[in-house]
Amino acid sequence: MVRFETVLYKHIPLENDAQFVILKLKNFIFDEEVLEESSLHILAEKLDPVARLAGNNFATLGEQWTLIRPE
């Protein structure tokens, strides 16, 4: 697990109730399982990240999928 401590830097309302939020990173904490302490490299396979792409699209390392929101 990774935890980020942030503060709001800028908030921009967009069309259709969308929001654009820019955060300033103040601090971060990595679980010992996902960080190689000697090199400070993140072990991505242990972290198992998920990315939010445009629209309803998401991705993990090497895979993409679409999640349709209910009406």
Rg (CA), the chain: 16
Say what the pTM is: 0.51
In whole angstroms, give the CA distance from residue 39 to residue 14: 41
Q: Could you say which DSSP state residue 54 is in?
A: S
12-49 per-position pLDDT tens digit: 999 998 999 999 999 988 888 998 889 989 888 888 88
